[in-house]
Structure 1
Amino acid sequence: MSDVIKIFHGPQHPGVTGNMSMELDLDGETIRRAVTHVGYLHRGFEKLVERRTLIQAFTIVCRICVPEPDPNEENLARGIEELAGLEISERAQFIRVLVLELARLQAHLLWLAGQGGSIGHEVVPQWAIGERDYILDLFEELTGGRVYHMYIYPGGVRRDLPDGFLDRVAAVLDQLEQRLPEYDRIFFENAGVKKRLQGVGVVAAEEAVANGYSGPVIRGSGVARDVRRDAPYLVYDQLEFDIPTQSAGDAYARALVRRAEMNQSIRILRQVIDRMPPGTIQCKLPRHHKFTLPRAETYVQTESARGAFGYYLAGDGTEYLRRLQVRGPSIVHAFTLLEQLLVGAQLADVALIMNSLGICPPEIER
């Protein structure tokens, strides 16, 4: 029997999804034990929010998942609105959907670049990052920031759409639709990619349901769960879209789910562009130092590219939240699931299994 060697995969490693580390016990190239380590990143977001006024707090939560901050902004804003009894305009709701679906698209492109790099595919990361930059250009024009937007705001959104903005969104979608068949040809239908991903990191549907997995992980195991359809928010119940699923439950199935979700996001965005209503973008808010919440609590959810994001908010009659509790998909995906899937896997598969789960470490260190 060979000796077991302990190594650390990350935090400074191109094959991890953020500032985290996997402690691995290796028997040759086979992993016998895997332990997730976090604590390398900024953390304590929940307490930072609780120590700031309601208006100040929304600048904090976008850091909870850097690659896709907008679902966090939407959760906090909608939770505050529910507690305060605020009703936002239909135009503001449509604009929020526009932002959330653009965020989903760029997050899937970032995933595609990371998974391509994990497999050793040199072309896909360059194409996908370049394609993503066109979406970040739109965010910069709309919000002033490419990554952190701080745009979805209690009562609506922070500013209206610039003149001609929807036309520029449509142009980016046209360009992406032309490119997607090329990604199919060189990546998703590539025999080498299939050989690396098929049969790797298999998750059974029963396990996914029992452990609360979400997003492409649960849908890749054949369970069609999506907060946008199951518990509609904003104007998602007025839009037509499908929930893509695959039955194999492996890393390749999760890749196909993300690829199909790109089509659905484009489909949603085109409906938003065609149906964007006129009107105001912000309801009237109380004065900054008079904006208080009742002694009440609520729980809101948003479907991110990685899965369901849930926010528990409790007010106590002041301009501060008494309690904020964040439940992101990375909690269970990085601990319950990743540590289990890596046992028996090969060292070369660590990065691609991790990427297939869509783990975002700041969610864990919230």
Structure 2
Amino acid sequence: MLTAVVGCGAPEKPVDPPPPAAEQETLRAAEEQAALLSPPAGCTEITMGELTNGIERTPVQYGPQPTYVGSFSDQGDPAVADVARIRLDVNTAPGAYDLAAGGTNLFTCEQCVWGVQDAGTSTAKTFVAESGTLLLALKVTPQQTIGALANVTLRQSVAAPPLYAPYTGTVPVAGGECRWIRFATWNTARNGGCDPREGSLTANIPGHTCVATNRAADDGTLERSLGTKTHGEACTYTAPTSEYELAATDCAEGYACTTAWGSSSTCMATCDFMAADPGCPTGTVCGVQGLCQEQAVQVASGFDFDPALIGEECTLGYAEFCGAEGARGVCLDLNGTGRGTCFPYTRARSDCGPGEELGYVSYPLAGGGYDRTYGFCYPDGL
């Protein structure tokens, strides 16, 4: 069951890519400067452990915007984890960001850093960054990045309007506790990671296919394309023999060997539903997981299509797809009229215009996880 939420040439043995030389130097300089600092008055210094992205979590949890999750050094009950989180906008580009721009408010920040001491207990405390620097050194995909935090002050905070999904606000507690991070790094890039989106540097590497790992197809993994089979042909998938190897198929470049839609292993053309021309073979349309498939097959699998174009009234109250190829949206009945409106799909919160907010479609996954990467802009306040 799906849920739409609103505020109502690769090397033979690829490895995680290092940041470019200039970015490595920036990280080194930031670490050297941070080593000379002292915690702000009244703040307790903490450290940050390894962070994971959506596909690395168990169960898989892809958020509506890339959110990396890990832990901070324990400051409360030693038997309870202190959770650390970094949330970026899908469009966040490599560079340095002033965390003061968020105003200690998890609703307004585009680059957010926060933690929860004794998470999940009645004594839990939330700490949100009020100042400091976030350095994004390398971005393979929105989910796969390398970066660092420097001189970050986090203030004890409590929930504040808006209090509803998908994004909630926070305000600092007057006289509340303070935490401080001198310097910390993260690396959520994985072996063979690639960006399936049209125009990315890793979407069309000769001899390989970038196969999406999430529903909205902005995160993927390279597979070696060793054959000539194309859309609709039976195929063979060979799993990697080690963590340093890539899977291989006998499909041609641009085709994934998949069992999607309940079929046996079949070559399917990959696509970017946000591209002006997804490029799917005749008779197919770009669907979830960045794969081309016949519309009738997708409908039979539970994905409804409505003929309304972006901004038009739908015939259905809810449908996963409306619009046309290259201009897709979702039908949502936000006003309770019984007929939805075709709201345009987007991936980034920053792509929504003035007076708009980013909602998302939540796809439940096996094992209790979820994928919320299909986003859409809707008029805020509904």
Of the two, which has the highest radius of gyration?
A: 2
TM-score, normalised relative to structure 2:
0.21
Higher RCO (Cα < 8 Å, 6 or more apart): 1
User: Which structure features the higher share of strand residues?
Assistant: 2
Give 1 or 2: higher helix fraction.
1
